[in-house]
Amino acid sequence: MDYSNRFGVTADDQALADAVGRFAQAELAPRASELDRTESSVTCHVKALAELGIMGMNIDECWGGPGVSPTGMLLALVEISRACAATSSMIGAHYLGTDAVQIAGDDAQREAWLPRAASGEWLAGFALTEPLGGSSPVDMRTRAVRDGDYYRIDGVKQFISNAAEARFLVVFAKTDPEAGPRGVSAFVVDMQTPGVSVSSHEKLMGIRGAHAFEVSFEDVRVPLNCRLGAEGSGFRTAMKVLDNCRLDVAATALGLAQAALDAAAQWVRERKVGGEPLATRQGIQWMLADMKLRLEASWALTLQATALRAEGRNFTQQSAMAKLHASEMVGFVTDAALQIHGGYGFTRDLPLERYVRDARILRIYEGSSEIQRTIIARGVLA
């Protein structure tokens, strides 16, 4: 797609989007339906994605990243999401884990974990959510107890993407159970460590190829040098990481919505009722106009937040607005596209029903719509 008229997009960003778009349409799109139907893992694409530099786009060049801008990374994820939202989700989970190491780790930790993650040799994940307390630090039950040069971690995490194939997870655990959010610490846990066990993948409604798991930690001994930052700094790390990842979710929504809008536009040009294309009907035109309007508003919010990120400025509120608007927008656009297709849209022969299912999770993970509204309101009242 041509992004050259969008705010902040450079020639290098466009060139990256073109390259990723060609790959996504040639390699990801043809397999998306089958991977969804069989619930096969989209990690089958990791090697090819890594060859394009995609697995390390969020990582600084000194640690093996390809040196792309935040805007270039956004466009690349949009192109991937146009072809396969599950693949974009898998990449986003990998970015969560590697972002945490890059943000909170020291140079020795970054050198130990990031280059092989950037190359695609190692897959990463992010273990914050729990079965009973969600992502609330107050209700977190996973514990990390200091034992000499080690911590012993015990607990259970839920809906952890990539866990079965990840080499490492960034795990959040209470080191001071009485301190609330200030008692949470972050640890890089090698998934080959004894005591780590992973369930079979969850049976998801959408993004079925982006597998999520329950992960149990039973007396898992983690070296002291695998703690990221000081004790008690883990929740602050998680919030910084989620600021970044919410833009990845917005990118997924933008790409998925564009795919649905493109499908609807093509359908109404070709589908005839009473001898006339559906595109001649004002009601259909107005539906397409509303879809496009909401999509463009999400683009504006997302690019604004991305520009602030690129400048190193605080973008917490802008990231929350982008994620909220885009994730709710894509629900509207995919549903409208299915409606335009009528009964055919409700069949599995076309991708519309998959688009609707894939879009639904975007209002839930990496902070629900309700959480985003709380973050936005907090900024208004500050």
* Residues acting as catalytic residues: 366
What is the C-alpha separation between 245 and 187, in angstroms, rounded? 19
Q: Is 318 helix (H, G, I), strand (E, B) or coil?
A: helix
Helices (H), 39-151: 46-51, 70-83, 85-104, 107-118
Burial class (CB in 10 A: 0-12, 13-18, 19+), 312: exposed
Supply the DSSP string of 236-252, one letter for each residue.
Answer: HHHHHHHHHHHHHHHHH
Q: Checking DSSP bridges between strand 184-190 and strand 168-174, what pairing results, if any?
A: antiparallel
Place of tokens 């609707």: 356
Contacts of 159 (CB under 8 A, 6+ apart): 129, 202, 212, 213, 214, 365
DSSP structure class, residue 144: E
**Over the range 11-40, which residues count as b (16 or more CB within 10 Å of their CB) and which as e?**
eebbebbeebbebbeebbbebbeebbeeee
Supply the DSSP string of 255-317, one letter for each residue.
Answer: HHHHHHHHHHHHHHHH-EETTEEGGG-HHHHHHHHHHHHHHHHHHHHHHHHHHHHHTT---HH
Q: Comparing C-alpha atoms, which of 119, 105, 130, 118 is closest to residue 188? A: 105
